[in-house]
Structure 1
Amino acid sequence: MTNHSISATKTALPKIAIIGGGLTGLFTATLLERAFNQGQNQQPSRSPHITIFEKSRSVGRLATRYRTNSTTGKNWQWAFGAQFFTAKTAPFQQFIKPWLVTGLLQPWYAQVVTLSPASVTKDENEALLNIEHKEQWNTQQPRYISTPKMTAWGRALADELAHTTIEFQTRVAPLAQYTKHEAGKQTELFDDTGTSLGLFDWVICTAPNVQAVELMANSGFERQADITTSQMLACYTLMLGWEKGQSLPEALDHQKIDCWDVAYVKDSILDRVFIEHQKPADHELLPSITIHTRNDWSEEHVDDDIETVKAKLLAAAQQLLHWNNCSAPSQIDCHRWRYAATVVDGKDSREILGALVDRQHRWIVSGDWCGQGNIESCYQMAQEAVAAIVSY
């Protein structure tokens, strides 16, 4: 993806830096452009000059991984980050409407079950699946996915930005590393080599809170202590795939059991199972499933050797899904997320911080972890950041 050109003049105000090109950063840039252009007939002089600094080569954080079968040309595909999102508030429902119209976002009416590791019968030669119907997601509170990949929405958001530049593979140095900042003055940012990235009227940090602590340390940010109020827990993701025509594990064989799409797991280190090839618009995929582990177990083992973790997860998955030599997965991958679920002072994420605003320095620390740790929180924190800038 190429950087976006800026149509505003050099005198356009304000100049805004967004650290992080995840959904919070993209939502923030989108809402800033809309706020400054609202009622202004898109006059360039009213367009903010926004720069997103992203340390990786892509945007959006809705991670998708795939592999292609060299014989058939078909793919296995895993949404190994967020599997779906909800839109419970009217503003967010309104925000996502254009992409629902185009079909890039689609509702997912999944059949949901609870699944427990197979129990062994008295003869010890037969294991029984423990599966119970839980619910079906419906139009009352739909879950949404991005098609054909979860990454597609982030890329669409970036492509639609008209007055924003995205600088990829750019690591912003901690704000206090090269210079001291004065309240009310523009902030000069630097990359990790000490090269200046420019002067900005506002700086918005949307990184995970552990990284935000480092970026804002010793800078004089007045909400520094609040950053550590939230804790982000780890998660491991196991990705499994089967060949076309291959026998599937008993739990996935819908000729033997009723069809299901999502499973909540009990009595296991595993937490949820998602069947990828049954999602809307994904019927052409080879059999693919994604499994997330429990956050408490993941946090306890976050620094373990990844191959050791993968072996433990495979053993737990085999016990849960009940496969044999003929139905064992041919594709196996494992990913470690150091920052996944959000808790606040040991409590659940319903007690939210909100965007952390320092009006003197014109710095904002934001992100889903300032809310409930989900995609709708990304939007809500973007709203709060934009409101702080517009009302300044």
Structure 2
Amino acid sequence: MTDHSVTDLNNTKTHSSNTNNGVAKIAIIGGGLTGLFTATLLERTFGQQADPSDPQKLPPQITVFEKSRSVGRLATRYRTDEQSDKNWQWAFGAQFFTAKSDSFSQFIEPWLGTGMLQPWCAQVVNLTPATEDAQPIINKKEQWDTTHARYISTPKMTSWGRALADDLQLTRVTFKTCVAPLSASKTHQLQEYSTHKKTELFDTEGDSLGWFDWVICTAPNDQAVALMANSNFSEQAKITEPQMQACYTLMLGWDSVQQLPATFSRHLTNATNVVLPGWDVAYMHGSILDRVFVEHHKPGHGDLSPSVTIHARNDWSQVHVDDDIETVRSQLLAAAQQALNWNNDTAPSQIDCHRWRYAATVVTDTNKEQGILVDDNQQWIVSGDWCGRGNIESCYQAAEQTVKVMMATLSQ
């Protein structure tokens, strides 16, 4: 159930599942994938256990507070030429995702059935940029397959997030709602249940958003730091422990396939001397660039004008994270020209650049996955993909952990 307006949720008499009316009220801060996965799993878990005839087993009331106008944060940027009706489209955030766990594989099955999610069996190459004396060097790396699939959302990467929100039945999503730091919240001790507390949230204008039994923050960790600062959150120090790196994204477009640099149409020969057409994804070597993705080669994207998304290396992006965006854009464009080897006749007509300040979670032997952070006393949870490996499956795993923690309390 999606509500595009901010709803007055102020109700100081609403109790948790331990109280007379049995309705637990849950706030989720952030309508990204972690927040949507959490709401979906909460609905499935507690909805299945709900019994309308039993006041102690009523389903929870869930509210997602999203500060922007949309959900999902599987970023898509697109551009339309009004005169020619040409369309370019770039997935400038996550390009794809994997499903390595059985539970996440089962979770995505319905959307695979509808075709909204599709495996991308991309032809992947290694690409070394051109030099003064040599053309770009392109060697076959692998072809992605359905056994170890990489999935995309169609027709846009944002489509799946919107579908997740539309499928919610027990959840209200409120857009353009910026939750104030929890230091401004109020905790109410219920007299009849001395061990239970409720939290009143406020927006940044000072208006009450209501009282909640559980508050789940799914914002990026830099925003989570600000939201939980001075709130006496018991795990505050751990929010800053994950090491994050930036990523710059360069988005390029051409007016027609005929205008693409020849580098895109280079034929490859595999180990059995079979000639393979072109390539879809390039892993860069000897460059500030990391990977190149050919958008119009993706399933369900064949009607796009040539659109190419390029991610810079995370380590380079981190070093230059505070640089002037136009300076960075020029550096990335020069590196892209060296890699793709275009000239005046084959230069892109569409150029855009985006900075992700917190894009990747660094996971090493000494800096391992942290997991969600729980304050049992205040019934607050801080969650997000950055609690894991920083990918989309990490969003789902964080949601699973959150529901497991809450089940132990809400089912009592």
Partner residue, 1:387: 404
Out of 349-358 and 89-98, give the one that drifted further.
349-358
- For residues 120-167 of structure 1, what are the alpha-carbon distances to aligned partners after superposition, in whole Å with 9 as ceiling and x for unaligned? 32xxxxx41111111111122100000000000000000000111111
- Please report how far the alpha carbon of residue 357 of structure 1 lies from its aligned counterpart in structure 2 after TM superposition: 1.0
SS in structure 1 at match of 2:105: helix
Partner residue, 1:48: 60
Mapped partners of 1:70, 1:348: distance in 2: 51
Partner residue, 2:3: 3
Mapped partners of 2:176, 2:325: distance in 1: 25
Mapped partners of 2:124, 2:316: distance in 1: 23
- Please report how far the alpha carbon of residue 349 of structure 1 lies from its aligned counterpart in structure 2 after TM superposition: 9.4
Partner residue, 2:18: none
Mapped partners of 2:365, 2:350: distance in 1: 35
Paired letter, 2:234: E
TM alignment of 1:183-332, pairs within 5 A: 184-254=196-266, 258-332=277-351
Partner residue, 1:156: 163
Among 167, 170, 182, the residue aligned to 2:177: 170
Mapped partners of 2:43, 2:340: distance in 1: 48
Question: In the alignment, is the contact (CA less than 8 A) between 1:235 and 1:338 conserved in 2?
Answer: yes
Paired letter, 1:120: E
Partner residue, 1:110: 122
- For residues 89-137 of structure 1, what are the alpha-carbon distances to aligned partners after superposition, in whole Å with 9 as ceiling and x for unaligned? 000000000000000000001111111111232xxxxx41111111111
Confirm whether residue 27 of structure 1 aligns to residue 37 of structure 2: yes
Among 9, 13, 18, the residue aligned to 2:28: 18
Mapped partners of 2:381, 2:48: distance in 1: 23
Paired letter, 2:24: P
Among 363, 377, 386, the residue aligned to 1:369: 386
Mapped partners of 1:312, 1:204: distance in 2: 40
Question: In the alignment, is the contact (CA less than 8 A) between 2:184 and 2:201 conserved in 1?
Answer: no
SS in structure 2 at match of 1:120: coil
Mapped partners of 1:87, 1:36: distance in 2: 24
- For residues 34-83 of structure 1, what are the alpha-carbon distances to aligned partners after superposition, in whole Å with 9 as ceiling and x for unaligned? 11111447879622111111111110000001111223323111000000
Partner residue, 1:74: 86
Paired letter, 1:193: E
Question: In the alignment, is the contact (CA less than 8 A) between 1:115 and 1:263 conserved in 2?
Answer: yes
Mapped partners of 1:245, 1:368: distance in 2: 37
Question: In the alignment, is the contact (CA less than 8 A) between 1:51 and 1:167 conserved in 2?
Answer: yes
Paired letter, 1:376: E
Mapped partners of 2:184, 2:61: distance in 1: 25
Among 363, 367, 372, the residue aligned to 1:355: 372
SS in structure 2 at match of 1:292: strand
Mapped partners of 2:188, 2:145: distance in 1: 51
Q: Which runs of 5+ in 1 are unaligned?
A: 122-126
Shift in CA distance, 164/12, structure 1 to aligned 2, threshold 3 Å = farther
TM alignment of 1:121-136, pairs within 5 A: 121=133, 127-136=134-143
- Please report how far the alpha carbon of residue 260 of structure 1 lies from its aligned counterpart in structure 2 after TM superposition: 0.7
Mapped partners of 1:137, 1:269: distance in 2: 24
SS in structure 2 at match of 1:176: helix
Shift in CA distance, 21/101, structure 1 to aligned 2, threshold 3 Å = same
Shift in CA distance, 224/297, structure 1 to aligned 2, threshold 3 Å = same
Paired letter, 1:195: D
Mapped partners of 2:335, 2:80: distance in 1: 26
Paired letter, 2:387: C
- Please report how far the alpha carbon of residue 244 of structure 1 lies from its aligned counterpart in structure 2 after TM superposition: 2.1
Question: In the alignment, is the contact (CA less than 8 A) between 2:257 and 2:305 conserved in 1?
Answer: no
For this pair of structures, how many residues does the alignment match? 383
SS in structure 2 at match of 1:296: helix
Mapped partners of 1:349, 1:312: distance in 2: 33
The TM-score with structure 1 as length reference comes to 0.92
Mapped partners of 1:32, 1:2: distance in 2: 16
Shift in CA distance, 290/348, structure 1 to aligned 2, threshold 3 Å = farther
Shift in CA distance, 4/326, structure 1 to aligned 2, threshold 3 Å = closer
- Please report how far the alpha carbon of residue 33 of structure 1 lies from its aligned counterpart in structure 2 after TM superposition: 0.5
- Please report how far the alpha carbon of residue 249 of structure 1 lies from its aligned counterpart in structure 2 after TM superposition: 1.1
Partner residue, 1:62: 74
Question: In the alignment, is the contact (CA less than 8 A) between 1:116 and 1:131 conserved in 2?
Answer: yes
Q: Which runs of 5+ in 2 are unaligned?
A: 8-13, 15-20, 190-194, 269-275
Mapped partners of 1:145, 1:349: distance in 2: 32
Shift in CA distance, 296/320, structure 1 to aligned 2, threshold 3 Å = same
Question: In the alignment, is the contact (CA less than 8 A) between 1:4 and 1:163 conserved in 2?
Answer: no
Mapped partners of 2:386, 2:303: distance in 1: 35
Mapped partners of 1:325, 1:286: distance in 2: 19
Among 135, 138, 141, the residue aligned to 2:148: 141
Paired letter, 1:216: M
Shift in CA distance, 274/245, structure 1 to aligned 2, threshold 3 Å = closer
- For residues 353-374 of structure 1, what are the alpha-carbon distances to aligned partners after superposition, in whole Å with 9 as ceiling and x for unaligned? 1111111110000000001110
TM alignment of 1:85-104, pairs within 5 A: 85-104=97-116
SS in structure 2 at match of 1:138: coil
Mapped partners of 1:14, 1:349: distance in 2: 39
Out of 72-81 and 286-295, give the one that drifted further.
72-81
